[in-house]
Amino acid sequence: MTNVDADIAIVGAGAAGATLAATLAEFTNKRIVLLERGGYFTHEFFDQRELDMSLLYADRGSRTTVEGAIPVQSGECVGGGTTINYALCFDPRQDVWNEWKRDVGLNGFSFERAANDYGVLGLNMASSLAEVRRRINVHSPLDDEINGNNHALAAGCKALGIPTKRHELSMIDCIGCGYCAQGCAYDRKLSTMVTYARDAQRRNVQLIHHCDVESIQFAQRGATRAPTGLAATVRPTMSGSEKNSVAPGPLALAVKLVIVCAGAIASPALLQRSRMPDPDQVIGRGLVLHPILPIAGIFDSALSNYRGITEAVYSDHYAASHGLYFESLFRHPAATAASLPGIGIDQFAIMSRYDKLAGCAAMLVDSSDPRNRVIWDDARGAPTIIYRLSGQDKGRLRFGAQRGVEIMLAAGAKEAVLCTEEPLGSLPSARFSTRQDAALCERLEFRPCETTLLSSQCQSTMKMGEDPKRCAVNSRGESYASRNVIVCDASVFPTSCGASPMLAVMTLARYQGKRIANELARYGM
Amino acid sequence: MDRRDFVLAGSLAAAASLRWLRQGGLFAFADIAQAPEPSSAPLQEANGVFAAIVRAVLPFDDARFAAITPIQVETRANESFSLDKDPSIQRNLALFGDLTQFATPPAWVSQAELALYPAEDDERSGPSLVPARESADAKAFQTASARWPSGTTSFAALPLAAQRAYLGLWARSALGTRRRFYQAMKTLVMSAAYSMDQTWPVIGYDGPLLHVRPS
């Protein structure tokens, strides 16, 4: 048994946890431990192979909704999702945060630069965002960094009169290898693994990876409940990982403040495992997945779209009306073959032209339905993820499918392909040559395990707000069920944050880190 | 842990399929006492079933795909995913391979369907009750199998075109558990095949760029 004494434990070293650890270390002299379930893999380990790099993902990529219909991908490594994402940066959407202020009575989170939230000098969203943007070099890619795939999306949209925009990305001098999702082998993507996690370590934060946190332990004094520590197990370090700071085996952490940053699946799961009181059954409920429907186009000439910046162009033209973003998407061969419709020579007619494929996706900002939820299953030792698309969201995805097919055809594709086995009217498989064919998307049923849907942006399972009946934590991220337990990650968003969430999560973490550093007395420190 | 173990643990696309199969797959809701034992005759044919699935899922009938052989894919899949050593996966393959079980699926399939694939308000496929789904499958099987050699009771013995049609019945089955099995098999076979460097030139994929890693 290893015993570690600290003031603050942060569970999860991803977008939120690493940023928070670095921020707290910058503004306090408290003893901080940063815990990560996955390993600590750095650029030398990333070999750009789909199969090998699955160990950077939660449960090695095996996490899905209960029917197996939608993979629910998150990063499980130092850097978390930022190690395996496409570095998309969307500023926190002020309209969404204002809506949350109205709906659940959020305090703080001022977007004015002059605001001093909670009486803390300079504490506001605008300054936190500016600091994060600077640290991870948020910028738009240059014209010569746009690959053929992104040009295809832009051209298809333009032909249909749909305006497009250029993503902002957290990279520096990208070489365009196309393997963001397998970890950047060149340290050109500024994940929190190469930024805030290292800042934190330089400021003496103790990083413990390969660490399974089993539960938060509490003491009850009168009506007040407060954590005394964490029970955890450190697994042996996998080969290829950096060394760990403690030996493998059971780990007992004595801490005063626990900050949960494990993401929208693992955060509620940890609190459920810890038997956190939940009288109104809000923990884990309202899961948002941002389901992604891939659409491919078959072109005449070689495009080699697996190279270059994978996502550089998008359209939010249908975001307000349909909750849909159109974005670039390209995947490596094994994942592509597993998704393209059909088998045998029928599928090979598409797969043999892999280098002539372009891909885009319709990403749905889905509604937060309390029936969609995460439940920790003690027997299996894993979370059960219950998620079904609402009728309305299916309708939006049908529209997204049709528009996506039209975009690919307008971009010059000879055929557009949907990754579905569903029969669509007269079509023998989901391959579309004309706009008339595209209208058949109206028939899509989205039965589970028939159409490829992806997801990697889970949110909203530990909602923040000032109504304890509907929310799990208050505006400060503090649990309603226990003192000195804070949740700070995408799970606290009351609904979808309305875009790819990384930068909103990091801004939130920077903001809460600065707030906590100025309110230590509130936590008995 | 050896580097090779990472690969054995499964690919991103394949990991979910493997996990489901290992935890029971089609048998997840079965009373395992009633399920066939790993030593029974149908299970000994499970390897033959997987070999036939590999040949049906991949385009070996296209000359351009000659870069790899079915045996290589089988070997890689078994090495990577231990399909041949897992009794649960073997049981699943045996059930899939037995054509006589399709029209009247075992009772636990209905239980799994009820538990995991509840009727939805906007379901367009008519009455969304499990018996209706089962009879839709039975009807589709009757239509498809009318064109197959009569008396064939095993998937492995069907001609290639009929094997693909049978896989198609699973792909588009009214039962969610069957669609999931199809997706699992397709994912495992595709992952095994397209993670082999030899298949990459066939499809115009240049592979990893690491040889130009800047210093």
Averaged pLDDT of chain A: 96
Contact A337 B190 (CB under 8 A): yes
Residues A155 and A111 in one domain: no
Residues A156 and A244 in one domain: no
Contact B204 A64 (CB under 8 A): no
User: Min CA distance, A395 vs chain B (Å)?
Assistant: 10
pLDDT at B39 over 90: no
Residues A79 and A104 in one domain: yes
pLDDT at B210 over 80: no
Chain A CB contacts of B190 under 8 Å are 334, 337-338
Interface test with A, best of B2, B11, B12, B178 (most A CBs within 10 A): B12
The answer to whether position A324 is within a domain reads yes
What is the spatial distance between Cα A266 and Cα A269, in angstroms, rounded to a whole number? 5
Chain A CB contacts of B212 under 8 Å are 175
Angle at which helices B107-116 and B130-145 cross, to 10°: 120
Percent of chain A as helix, strand, coil, to the nearest 5:
30, 20, 45
Interface of B with A in 32-71 (CB under 8 A): 56-59, 61-62, 64-65
Residue A142 makes CB contacts below 8 A (sequence gap 6+) with none
Residue with tokens 């942060």: A10
Residues A278 and A358 in one domain: no
Residues A275 and A418 in one domain: no
State the pLDDT at residue A514: 98
CATH number for the domain including A82?
3.50.50.60
Q: What backbone torsions phi and psi does residue A365 show, to the nearest 5 degrees?
A: -80, 95
Residue B63 makes CB contacts below 8 A (sequence gap 6+) with none
Residue with tokens 């499980």: A76
Six-digit token pair at A393? 């969201």
Strands (E), A147-200: 165-166, 168-170
What is the spatial distance between Cα A247 and Cα A1, in angstroms, rounded to a whole number? 9
Residue B69 makes CB contacts below 8 A (sequence gap 6+) with B60
A133 close to A523: Cβ distance less than 8 angstroms:
no
State the pLDDT at residue A399: 98
State the pLDDT at residue B109: 86
Contact A348 B62 (CB under 8 A): yes
The answer to whether position A22 is within a domain reads yes
Q: Between B210 and A190, whose confidence is greater?
A: A190
| Number of domains forming the structure of chain A | 2
Could you list the residue range(s) of the whole structural domain that residue A471 is in?
A: 2-137+183-284+461-523
User: Min CA distance, A241 vs chain B (Å)?
Assistant: 10
Q: Within an 8 Å CB–CB cutoff, is residue A248 touching chain B? A: no
Q: Within an 8 Å CB–CB cutoff, is residue B206 touching chain A? A: yes
The answer to whether position A296 is within a domain reads yes
Contact B179 A352 (CB under 8 A): no
State the pLDDT at residue B119: 75
The burial of A367, by beta-carbon neighbours within 10 Å (0-12 exposed, 13-18 middle, 19 or more buried), is given as: middle
State the pLDDT at residue B113: 87
Q: How far is CA A435 from CA A405, A410, A438, in A?
A: 8, 9, 5
Residues A316 and A405 in one domain: yes
Contact B12 A240 (CB under 8 A): no
User: Min CA distance, A177 vs chain B (Å)?
Assistant: 6
A372 DSSP assignment: S
From B122, which residue of chain A is nearest by alpha-carbon distance?
A391
Residues A399 and A280 in one domain: no
From A63, which residue of chain B is nearest by alpha-carbon distance?
B16
Residues A484 and A438 in one domain: no
CATH number for the domain including A333?
3.30.410
User: Min CA distance, A382 vs chain B (Å)?
Assistant: 12
From B205, which residue of chain A is nearest by alpha-carbon distance?
A355
Q: Between A272 and B85, whose confidence is greater?
A: A272
Residues A204 and A158 in one domain: no
pLDDT in tens, A60-69: 888 999 999 9
Segment among A55-59, A80-84, A500-504 with least mean pLDDT:
A55-59
pLDDT in tens, B111-142: 888 888 877 665 555 555 788 899 999 999 99
Q: Could you say which of B15, B56, B125 has the minimum Cβ distance to residue A61? A: B15
Domain-ending residue, one of A381, A415, A443: A443
The answer to whether position A487 is within a domain reads yes
pLDDT at B53 over 70: yes
Q: How many residues does chain A have?
A: 525
State the pLDDT at residue A16: 98
Contact B214 A353 (CB under 8 A): no
What is the spatial distance between Cα A229 and Cα B183, in angstroms, rounded to a whole number? 43
φ/ψ bin of A239: left (φ > 0), alpha (ψ from -120 to 50), beta (otherwise): beta
Domain-ending residue, one of A443, A478, A509: A443
Closest CA to B183 of A343, A474, A352: A343
pLDDT in tens, A435-467: 999 999 999 999 999 999 999 999 999 999 999
What is the spatial distance between Cα A300 and Cα A303, in angstroms, rounded to a whole number? 9
The answer to whether position A493 is within a domain reads yes
The answer to whether position A377 is within a domain reads no
State the pLDDT at residue A369: 96
Residues A222 and A160 in one domain: no
Residues A202 and A338 in one domain: no
What's the pLDDT band for B4 if we cut at 50, 70, 90? very low
The answer to whether position A233 is within a domain reads yes
Residues A242 and A110 in one domain: yes
The answer to whether position A371 is within a domain reads no
Q: What backbone torsions phi and psi does residue A273 show, to the nearest 5 degrees?
A: -60, -35
Question: How does B31-68 read in b/e, with b if 16+ C-beta sit within 10 Å?
Answer: eeeebbeeeeebbebbbbbbbbbbbbbbbbeeeebeeb
